Chain A
Amino acid sequence: ALAESSTVTASKAGDTKRVRSCCRGCGKMECGVWVIVENGRAIRTEGDESAFQSMGNHCGKGQASLQAAYHPDRLYHPMKRTNARGEDDPGWQRITWDEAMSTIAEKLQETMDRYGGEAIFGMSGTSRIWGMFAYGALGQLVGSPNMCIPWQVCKGPRFFATAMNSMMQASWMETVGRPKVYTSWGTGPELSNYDDSCRTIVDVAEKADTHIVVDPRMTNLGKEADIWLNLRPGTDGAMAMGWLNILINNELYDDLFAKKWTNGPFLVCNDIEATGYETYRFTSGKFQMKTRLLKESDLKEDGDPHKFMVWDNLNNRMTYFDAGTGLWEGETWSKPTAGHEGMQEHLVPGVSQGWVPDPTPFDPEIDPALYGEFEVELKDGKKSKVTPVWQLFTDRVSEYTPEKVSEITGVPAETIKTACLTHARRIDPTTGYGNGGIQYQLAIEHSCNAIAMVRAMDTYIGLSGNWDVPAGHRGGTQGDFVFKAGLGAVAPGIPNISAEEFNKTLGIEDYPLLGWWQGWADDASVWKAIETGDPYPVKAGWCSTGDFMCMSNSLQKWRAFPNLDFFVCEDLWKTPTAGMADILLPAQHWLETDCPRMSQGPSGGQGATVRAIEPPADTKHDIEIATMIYQYMGKQWGPDDNKWPDRIENLDIMLNTGRAGAPTTWEEYRDDFEQNGWKDCKVVAPDTWGTYRRYETGMMPLKAYGDKNALEEFAKPGFGTPTRKMEIWSTLIETFMPEDEEDFLPTYKEPPLSPIADPEMNEKYPFTATSGRRIPVYFHSEHRQLPWCREMWPAPRIEINPQDAARLGIEQGDWVWIENDNGKIRQVADLYHGVAPGVVNLEHQWWFPELDQADKGYDLCGCNCLVTTGKGYQDRISGTSYLRAYPVNIYKATPENSPFGNPVPCDHKGNEIIHDASDPRLKEWLPNYDIRNEA
């Protein structure tokens, strides 16, 4: 029962209590909700209509997630394995926290002593805010960079690419700012609530003048689109290049932005050595940047390498931009004061307009040349021809005519033109900014061209006048404290691991920029190391909120698992991943959790998840577990004066990190939230969030300054890149991958197994498989055991065009085999005219909690059993897994071609999975209120 002493100032009616909270039924949105608690029991959750950032949204899985808190199969105690790894029955035995923690501490220490900290790897899933141990803190504990996190396949590539191009997270568009043209590109937020709520998206799409969708499938919201670019899966990069082409050819781009804020006018010189200066890696340490962009130091012996030369058409001479000071030659800068309020229509009550500074002109007046070729005399006296980046860029872009893009993508050239022109032509020029951003999201990351595509897109956004303007791209919400990507992710009192340690990152050979980014290890490389011991052994692992089925190939990983000496899983369930663990640690449910919350995306809300019910039995909050293992290993977690803070002290630390204004406590913060609801970050953080065009004001917050406070360090106009410009020419790719010249500029490459790139493979496997399209009642592998979810969507579905189905004798509801060289799975046919003939859409991360065996049938249906890995089959820069747009074959499952003579997938003994809502096993999963009390 909710302790009577609780100071939660929720409204009460009888013995019913309503707790204002923030849902965490998924990791994507921060939907404001009410938790209705009766006699200490949460009986229902409802959307909070005063949560402007989510508009009162509370999706199906969010409402159903309460069933997890009372689930009979939930983990209530720490457990240890008593049978060998690989056996169907792990022989789980209940143990105490002390035994669990002592064993873990001992095993981790043993591994570190014997092989080094890098032999310990971590896994954490996406955005379970307080349980993201492997996003940093585990590495800090053991000194390992080897963290396998789906960030690598989920907005990480967009963050990585935008961090290189302009500002980390610039991929995020402020949808709540209400674009005039709503463009949804490779995303379906009406089902995914990614990182805007369904309610917001539906309203935005409807109120926009035009609604454009770029998707190979007809989507749930896309059925309403005015323009549908129904491209071939995996060809988004070509489409983005095509949009740049149309934008530039129609002279719709922002000329001042191109000249002043991109490195378009910088001059490429092929006759110099690549040189540069020392600058910051993203997380830890520095590196020597090396570029063939012309610098003063290339012209003069004592020239400054920070001074990038440009040709001034106005005065017919060379001038420069100084990346050290962030200023042009002769420029004096002060924070601009001219500007106006945002001019957005349809803002929801509670969302404010914010302030938009006017674009500042060059001062002193210059006109950097974008086109042409210029002759310079290098410091050794040699003459050299130099070309503005922009010239090379537009040469590249000019190849991507609408006709060529049409050929690649399969979308009529006219439709492409109409779409781009509709987006790019300003509907209301008086605003001084564009029609709104492009909500380009997950899909573009999964076909091995992610970084290049995002660089093209971010550049398009900048040039089309939609970068950090209302309804444009402005990154993650900044509030009045620093959220630090969530508690549990970073030990707040100690520094991150060093650049040297990061340089041991597995996969860095194949993907050298991982050494700059330091955000993740390459998942496939870590698992290869587990399997083969090459380049060095990986022997122990900790999984917190994570899962092995999310990327790379699930079958390969399952086979490699037994090579580990030791593996811990921290979760709420006995998942397939848990099935390979030696120790299970029971985590708490969001209803049992306290934590400040801030919109991850740009929807601008600041609030909290508030404990509404007492946690059951032996469960612990992830943050407590993290602190606890630090203590068991004798490592400091918090600041010097409180090395191992308790749960609430941890929240206090979080709230006061980088805080603007007077210190606060969790209790004060929570009570204010209960009483007054969500805060608009534009109001509480006027400089970092309430102001647009922050490259003008020196408030670009997400600069790559590692542990330092970015704003203090930066405080200059410009972007967070090595040249402080939007880097159309990437000095980072040039430095770290000098042989990959094509990628210095935005480009497009076919998915490695596309029908064009590998016709042979496609002859063998004639269907192009894609995946995604979120299941509204699941969050990836989560919620499959919740009755309200499973009965809404009992079995995995493959979408097939009815023409293909007819040809193959497949009918709606038939089980279908899907196979390629990597493996085969089964899903149920959904005859869907919304995919092109020859394309199928698959579902990922299916497992079956109803099966009584360690692997829980992860290999029966999940499409990531079909994923190809290895260099050449991942994104060439970020290593991102190849999860979409690859070839498969499909055919009907029959008694003859199915194990146990049963087309329905079965466990090792022949018991069917649940595939029908009338299955009595579903009822066994209804809440059990008694288990909680016994501990």
Chain B
Amino acid sequence: MTHYAIATDLNRCVGCLACSVACKAMNNVPVGDYWNKTLRIGPNPKKDGCGTWPDIEMYFMTVQCQHCKDPECVKVCPTEASHIAADGTVQIDKSKCIGCQFCAMSCPYGVRYLNTEERVVEKCTLCEQKIAQGELPACVAQCGGRARFFGDLDKGIDSFEAPWVVDVTKGDPSYDKTLHNRITLKDCVPAYKESDVHHLPDVGNHPSFVYILRNRDWQGEE
């Protein structure tokens, strides 16, 4: 089985919004709607600090569809428009969608919305058109901090991949070469502990996306 997902290293994420724009540029997301938002969490006073500046901590967190393992959005969909695809991603067959928006209500993270032009519900597709070709999702490929990694959860997040610099001195740095040159999460980011790995709050949907956050309090439940 395959279960594609994205892992984000929040210590590398600098809230640059490149991923949010990349998604727009790739997926024709309507103006005013978002498949990928970059939230700033904090700065909040540190637990053991003086209660205010400068004893504070902060991180950025990009939020999009978490391609859950047990997605309520699929369960509530009357038409099976929302479904789990063979690669483990959660997709919407727009031609089946009646726009009842129950899926939007049932998503714990509010990442679905009604596209008022097509009158169907939309969300992050994990760039299915790209990953089907062996390419990286746009928000991973263009991530400013090289903080995002894409891969198959079943193989473990250490195997997840980000793009990597092609050596021009080795000749002919073609588009195709640049498209497929990768670095794994393990080789790219500093070591992390089991306890540094987080998910968005789980209310039974089992979100698949992974967030790594070292030496900081993860805000909110898992």
Q: Of B14, B22, B172, B176, which is within 8 A of A675 by CB?
A: B172
Known A11-B175, A34-B178, A676-B172; judge A833-B12 contact (CB<8 A). no
A791 touches B31 (CB 8 A): yes
- Cβ of A501 < 8 Å from any Cβ of B? no
A47 touches B142 (CB 8 A): yes
A46 touches B142 (CB 8 A): yes
- Cβ of A913 < 8 Å from any Cβ of B? no
Known A60-B17, A198-B145; judge A218-B22 contact (CB<8 A). no
- Cβ of A834 < 8 Å from any Cβ of B? yes
Having A52-B165, A57-B144, one finds 10 other A-B pairs with CB under 8 Å, namely A44-B25, A46-B142, A49-B179, A50-B178, A56-B165, A190-B144, A218-B56, A677-B168, A791-B32, A834-B53
Question: How many A-B contacts if CB must be within 8 Å?
Answer: 176
- Cβ of A18 < 8 Å from any Cβ of B? yes
Q: Which residue of chain B has the shortest Cβ distance to A12 in the bound complex?
A: B175
Question: Given the complex, which residues of A lie within 8 Å of B171, measured CB to CB?
Answer: 676
A60 touches B31 (CB 8 A): no
- Cβ of A203 < 8 Å from any Cβ of B? yes
Q: How far is the CB of B36 from chain A (nearest CB, A)?
A: 11
Q: Which residue of chain A has the shortest Cβ distance to B60 in the bound complex?
A: A220
Q: How far is the CB of A786 from chain B (nearest CB, A)?
A: 10
Size of the chain B interface, CB-CB below 8 angstroms:
53
Known A680-B169, A787-B31; judge A834-B56 contact (CB<8 A). yes
- Cβ of B167 < 8 Å from any Cβ of A? yes
**Partner-binding segment picked from A223-231, A490-498, A685-693:** A223-231
- Cβ of A803 < 8 Å from any Cβ of B? yes
- Cβ of B59 < 8 Å from any Cβ of A? yes
Bitwise, A39-63 to B at CB < 8 A (1) or not (0) is: 0000011111110100111111101
Question: Given the complex, which residues of B lie within 8 Å of A776, measured CB to CB?
Answer: 15-18
Question: Given the complex, which residues of A lie within 8 Å of B189, measured CB to CB?
Answer: 206
A834 touches B58 (CB 8 A): yes
A349 touches B144 (CB 8 A): no
A63 touches B174 (CB 8 A): no
Q: Which of A861-899 contact B (CB under 8 A)?
A: none
- Cβ of B11 < 8 Å from any Cβ of A? yes
Question: Given the complex, which residues of B lie within 8 Å of A792, measured CB to CB?
Answer: 17, 20-21
Q: How far is the CB of A129 from chain B (nearest CB, A)?
A: 22
Question: Given the complex, which residues of A lie within 8 Å of B42, measured CB to CB?
Answer: 833
- Cβ of B68 < 8 Å from any Cβ of A? no
- Report the separation of the CA atoms of residues A223 and B59 in the bound assembly, to the nearest whole angstrom: 7
Closest 5 interchain pairs by CB?
A50-B173, A349-B167, A60-B21, A833-B43, A49-B178
- Cβ of B152 < 8 Å from any Cβ of A? no
B166 touches A49 (CB 8 A): yes
Question: Given the complex, which residues of A lie within 8 Å of B59, measured CB to CB?
Answer: 223
A833 touches B52 (CB 8 A): yes
Size of the chain A interface, CB-CB below 8 angstroms:
69
- Report the separation of the CA atoms of residues A18 and B175 in the bound assembly, to the nearest whole angstrom: 7
- Cβ of A926 < 8 Å from any Cβ of B? yes
- Cβ of B26 < 8 Å from any Cβ of A? yes
Known A776-B17, A792-B20, A922-B31; judge A218-B58 contact (CB<8 A). yes
- Report the separation of the CA atoms of residues A49 and B182 in the bound assembly, to the nearest whole angstrom: 10
Q: Which residue of chain B has the shortest Cβ distance to A221 in the bound complex?
A: B14
Question: Given the complex, which residues of B lie within 8 Å of A835, measured CB to CB?
Answer: 53
Q: Which residue of chain A has the shortest Cβ distance to B190 in the bound complex?
A: A206
Interface centre among B25, B52, B58 (most CB of A within 10 A): B25
Q: Which residue of chain B has the shortest Cβ distance to A793 in the bound complex?
A: B17
- Report the separation of the CA atoms of residues A206 and B175 in the bound assembly, to the nearest whole angstrom: 28
A917 touches B145 (CB 8 A): no
- Cβ of B146 < 8 Å from any Cβ of A? yes
Known A58-B18, A922-B31; judge A803-B52 contact (CB<8 A). yes
B165 touches A349 (CB 8 A): yes
- Report the separation of the CA atoms of residues A191 and B144 in the bound assembly, to the nearest whole angstrom: 9
- Report the separation of the CA atoms of residues A803 and B12 in the bound assembly, to the nearest whole angstrom: 29
Can you spell out 27 A-B residue pairs with CB atoms less than 8 angstroms apart?
A: A11-B174, A11-B176, A18-B175, A20-B175, A34-B178, A46-B142, A47-B141, A48-B178, A49-B165, A50-B168, A56-B163, A60-B16, A64-B25, A66-B25, A199-B145, A206-B11, A206-B189, A218-B43, A218-B58, A220-B14, A223-B43, A677-B166, A833-B42, A834-B43, A835-B53, A917-B31, A917-B32
- Cβ of B204 < 8 Å from any Cβ of A? no
Known A218-B56, A836-B54; judge A50-B144 contact (CB<8 A). no
Q: Of B44, B142, B164, which is within 8 A of A63 by CB?
A: B142
Q: How far is the CB of B88 from chain A (nearest CB, A)?
A: 26
- Cβ of B177 < 8 Å from any Cβ of A? yes
Question: Given the complex, which residues of B lie within 8 Å of A803, measured CB to CB?
Answer: 52
Q: Which residue of chain A has the shortest Cβ distance to B141 in the bound complex?
A: A46
Q: How far is the CB of B94 from chain A (nearest CB, A)?
A: 21
- Report the separation of the CA atoms of residues A57 and B165 in the bound assembly, to the nearest whole angstrom: 10
Interface centre among A66, A228, A676, A776 (most CB of B within 10 A): A776
- Cβ of B181 < 8 Å from any Cβ of A? yes
Q: How far is the CB of B122 from chain A (nearest CB, A)?
A: 16
- Report the separation of the CA atoms of residues A777 and B16 in the bound assembly, to the nearest whole angstrom: 8
Q: Which residue of chain B has the shortest Cβ distance to A787 in the bound complex?
A: B31
A190 touches B167 (CB 8 A): no
Q: Which of B125-152 contact A (CB under 8 A)?
A: 141-142, 144-147
Q: Which of A654-671 contact B (CB under 8 A)?
A: none
- Cβ of A832 < 8 Å from any Cβ of B? yes
A678 touches B17 (CB 8 A): no
Q: Of A49, A221, A789, A922, which is within 8 A of B164 by CB?
A: A49
- Cβ of A350 < 8 Å from any Cβ of B? yes
Question: Given the complex, which residues of A lie within 8 Å of B45, measured CB to CB?
Answer: 833
B11 touches A228 (CB 8 A): no
- Cβ of B158 < 8 Å from any Cβ of A? no
Q: Which residue of chain B has the shortest Cβ distance to A835 in the bound complex?
A: B53
Q: Which of A528-564 contact B (CB under 8 A)?
A: none
Q: Which residue of chain B has the shortest Cβ distance to A351 in the bound complex?
A: B165
